[in-house]
Amino acid sequence: MVALSNEIKEIFTRTKVMPMATASKSGIPNVAPMASILLVGDDTVWIMDNYMKKTLENLKENPVVALYFYDAESKRCFQLKGSTEIRTSGPEYEQFRDRVKTKSDKYPAKSLIIVKITDVFECTPGKEAGKKVL
Ligand SMILES: Cc1cc2nc3c(=O)[nH]c(=O)nc-3n(C[C@H](O)[C@H](O)[C@H](O)COP(=O)(O)O)c2cc1C
């Protein structure tokens, strides 16, 4: 089981926008910026589907995701990979929908993407680049 360190969690939480990569079942890649992102505990990320199109289609047929986050201050960079579940109801969906709508009621908050983190890699340039850290 993966458990992010406090250092990685701090860098994740400081990041405002993350590229979210998915792929269709036939392997066509897609990447899109996401900001409605919340780290939950040590191994879970919630992402709100406000305006997803290809991303959501891909997750329905191939439920895996990759994200990266880069901290300009420390120059550290990490890649996460995970498996996903899509929720359009239930307490977790409702909790995140309310949080997103508190930021702005313009967000449709259509579905919650729950990412269980399976792998973490370093993407900081240098000798540790590409190393699997979790
Ligand atoms: C800075 C920024 C943050 C964004 N955050 C989100 C988000 O949290 N959730 C979402 O559904 N769309 C978000 N979007 C919009 C999606 O990136 C956009 O709808 C994109 O087309 C989705 O990719 P897709 O059509 O390939 O699924 C954001 C866009 C930008 C520029």
- Give residue limits of the domains in the chain: 6-122
CATH architecture of 6-122: Roll (2.30)
Mean pLDDT (whole number) for 97-119? 97
pLDDT at 93: 98
pTM of the model: 0.97
Mean pLDDT (whole number) for 18-46? 98
Over residues 33-82, the pLDDT tens digits come to 999 999 999 999 999 999 999 999 999 999 999 999 999 999 999 999 99
pLDDT at 31: 98
Task: Determine if ligand 1 sits within 6 Å of the CB of residue 124.
Answer: no
Closest alpha carbon to 109 in 38, 20, 25: 38
Q: Which two tokens stand for residue 93?
A: 């969906």
SS3 content of the chain, % helix, strand, coil (to 5): 20, 40, 35
CA distance 63 to 57: 10
pLDDT at 1: 81
Taking the CA of residue 58 as reference, the ligand 1 atom at the shortest distance is: 27
Mutate which of 30, 36, 52, 93 to test ligand 1's pocket (most atoms within 8 Å of Cβ)? 52
Task: Determine if ligand 1 sits within 6 Å of the CB of residue 58.
Answer: no
